[in-house]
Amino acid sequence: VLAPYDTDQQFPVWGFGAKIGSQTSHCFSLTFDERNPEVRGIPGIIDVYQRSFQKVALSGPTLFQHILQTASDVAKQQWQTDCQNYYIFLILTDGVINDLQKTVDVLVAASGLPLSVIIVGVGQADFRQMDHLDADGGQLKSSNGRFAERDIVQFVPFRRFDGQQITRLSKETLAELPGQFLAYMRSKKISPLDPAVRIARMRAQQQQHMAQLPQGGGSGSNGGLTVEQQIHQAHMATLAAQQQTHQARAGLASLQVSESKDDSSSGAGGAPQQGMNPPMMGSSGNPQLENLRVNPPQYVSGRDIDVPGDKPPSWSP
């Protein structure tokens, strides 16, 4: 549901509630490399999850505070680098949490960060505590009396859906995300980047990542590029096409305005002609709004996701 919105399909993945050796851990990288918890795509997430059982054994209690603090730290650190980023932290859980108030405390503290938390409850456990975290009935309140700045949690019980109801599952999962995202950006008075700037930045990031990849050793039409290099090369080509499209639209808008001015100057009495074309704008009525960016973690994870360019940011799939 969330993966298609991510720009590079690299997802950091963490586990919680498991014994590693003789110690129970409530937050650990499923790659078992704390410096690099990222994997590629949904297949990568499933792969590291399945292989993790060779090293861990499931263990209670179920605590959320540690993984939520990790997500908060990531969002806070990255926001200092790029305020256009927004993160989604997806938690899959099959149990009742045992640290409800401490979890609330972390969520309240994180409510001012560019972060949304989507919790998916799997199985037949009693998930009434999750409805409390969802806070649709009112603001969360921490143990020191502080109220959440905004609602950042969405809870989805998976048992309400079956394999034939993927559309309903998608709608429920994403129901509150557009509002949470816009509420944060508006509260911080953050405007979206100009499309040309956004595309140029993304191309620079792709080029930097491409340069860091190991060189392929093959031959042929791809010049010996590795599969990952070919993927990033395709991303760069897509961004180049987007940049050309944006430049063409901007040129057309400028031409339309110029022609309208010429028409108005030649009209009787200098009055502007009716039906003149305005500058081209996005579907939101603002030339930049449809380019707002959202940024997530998946499974327990987070990365950049782009709102589709032909939809306003309030669009909910």
Q: Per residue in 30-76, pLDDT tens?
A: 999 988 999 999 999 999 999 999 999 988 889 999 999 999 999 99
Q: Which two tokens stand for residue 85?
A: 């980023």
Q: What are phi and psi of 305, to 5 degrees?
A: -130, 140
pLDDT at residue 296 tops 60: no
- Give CA–CA dist 23/38, Å, rounded: 23
Domain boundaries defined on the chain: 3-187, 193-213+224-262+282-291
Give the CB-side neighbour count of residue 283, counting CA atoms within 13 A: 12
pLDDT at residue 243 tops 70: no
- Give CA–CA dist 2/170, Å, rounded: 8
- Give CA–CA dist 250/176, Å, rounded: 33
- pLDDT tens, residue by residue, 136-173: 778 899 999 999 999 999 999 888 886 667 788 888 88
Q: How many C-beta atoms surround the C-beta of residue 216 within 10 A? A: 15
Q: What distance lies between CA 113 and its chain's CA centroid?
A: 13
State the angle between helix axes of 227-266 and 195-212 in degrees (0 to 180), rounded to the nearest 10.
160
pTM score: 0.64
For the domain spanning 3-187, the CATH number is 3.40.50
Collapse the DSSP code of 24 into the 3-class scheme (helix H, G, I; strand E, B; otherwise coil) and give the result.
strand
- 230-255 average pLDDT score: 62
119, β-bridge pairs:
91, 155
CA dist list (Å): 127 to 27, 68, 123, 134, 157: 21, 18, 10, 11, 8
pLDDT at residue 290 tops 60: no
Is residue 213 within 8 Å of residue 232, measured between CB atoms? yes
Q: What distance lies between CA 46 and its chain's CA centroid?
A: 19
Q: How many C-beta atoms surround the C-beta of residue 171 within 10 A? A: 13
